[in-house]
Amino acid sequence: MTKRERFEKFLANEPVDRVPVAFFHHFTTEQEWLTGLKDEAAFEKNIEGHRTARAKFDPDVIKIMNDTLMIMPVDTSFVKTPADLRKIQPPMPGSAFFEKSKELTKRVVAIYEGSDAPIYITAFSPCIILRNSISGMDIGTEVAHSKLYSFLEEDPDSVMAALDIIADSVNALNKMLLTECGAEAVYLSVNIQAHYVPDEFYAKYIAPSDKKVLAAANELSRFNMLHICGYHGKSNNLELFKDYDVPVFNWAVHAEGVGLAEGKKLFGGKPVCGGFAQAETIYTGTREEITAEVCKYLDEAGQVGVMLGADCTVPTDIDDERLEWVRQAAIQYAATPRVKL
């Protein structure tokens, strides 16, 4: 099968010649994240990292890593009360952020010319964007989110209004990148990692903006993916996301303690992606250990509607040859007769 044919079969929960493999990593340091509007060197490094990586591992699934433009900038410096959130003005078409995002996406798509692999853009939920704007990139601790939590307790309607405003901007950005830049689908990162608000708050006040973004994305593409981010082992409540209307689910198998087979049931039998821990065997294991882990995951979940990947981005300095080891192990697994006991 070609990469496209294999992915189409995966998406349709149909048998494949071997499971597709989808690992992603950043191309810049954390200090360079979000600096693309002011640091041209970091912006170029972000783009060129894709070229270097492709030379070593031509991926089954392409995800444009927008490290230096990763989270949409929203000015909340004037926000003193929850009601002030209603006045935020996220970037919109024609802004420097939109134009720079368009440049990055088009240039990375050109790097993958000749590949028939599906191309994802990376997007973040309105809540992650709002949290970053008021608390910075420390997105995994209760302290970082205490301000958002207090705003929700005091005036949830104003927080919801702000999330809705941001959702409109995210939708406009996604539409531009998918209709003008050659990308094909949205990889949407959401989370309630570290449980920064109570579950009932997330379901009532935050989830609607996630779903608004997904609804708009689903009008543009039929293979969007939900990434329930468990970055560096931070857990989520997967139950909060099981009714999200999205074709493919990815979550932190190891952080959540929910394997691929169990997760596939939780998410209504839809295709799933994952398996490997973020920085364990895939990063430090021998080829034999990686092969054994591939067999373990596929023994558990089967090869239909399953794509091998990781809990989140693998380390930036990973040897991309390791990703080829996973692919070769998947090929070997598919070619080896399995005996059911």
| Sheet bearing 185-190, strands edge to edge | 62-64, 119-124, 185-190, 225-228, 248-251, 272-276, 306-310
- Mean pLDDT, residues 138-167 taken together: 82
d(CA 208, CA 188): 14
Those residues with Cβ within 8 angstroms of residue 273's Cβ, 6 or more apart along the chain or in another chain:
22, 225, 248, 249, 250, 306, 307, 308, 309
- Mean pLDDT, residues 235-254 taken together: 96
d(CA 170, CA 213): 7
pLDDT for the residue numbered 164: 98
Percent of the chain whose pLDDT exceeds 70: 96
Residue 138: pLDDT over 80? no
Percent of the chain whose pLDDT exceeds 90: 90
pLDDT digits (tens, 9 = 90+) for 216-242: 999 999 999 999 998 777 889 999 999
Mean pLDDT of the chain: 94
d(CA 116, CA 122): 19
What's the pLDDT band for 145 if we cut at 50, 70, 90? low
- Mean pLDDT, residues 107-131 taken together: 97
The predicted model scores a pTM of 0.95
What's the pLDDT band for 303 if we cut at 50, 70, 90? very high
3-state secondary structure of 180: helix
Enumerate the β-bridge partners of residue 226.
Answer: 188, 249
Per-residue 3-state assignment (H helix, E strand, C coil) for 124-172: ECHHHHHHHHHHCCCCCCHHHHHHHHHHHHHCHHHHHHHHHHHHHHHHH
| DSSP E strands, the chain | 62-64, 119-124, 185-190, 225-228, 248-251, 272-276, 306-310
Residue 189: pLDDT over 60? yes
Residue 323: pLDDT over 60? yes
pLDDT for the residue numbered 190: 96
pLDDT for the residue numbered 136: 77
Domain ranges in the chain are: 25-275
pLDDT for the residue numbered 231: 79
pLDDT for the residue numbered 235: 86
Residue 144: pLDDT over 50? no
What's the pLDDT band for 143 if we cut at 50, 70, 90? very low
- Mean pLDDT, residues 276-299 taken together: 97
Residue 341: pLDDT over 60? no
> Considering the domain 25-275 in this protein, what is its CATH number?
3.20.20.210
What's the pLDDT band for 135 if we cut at 50, 70, 90? confident
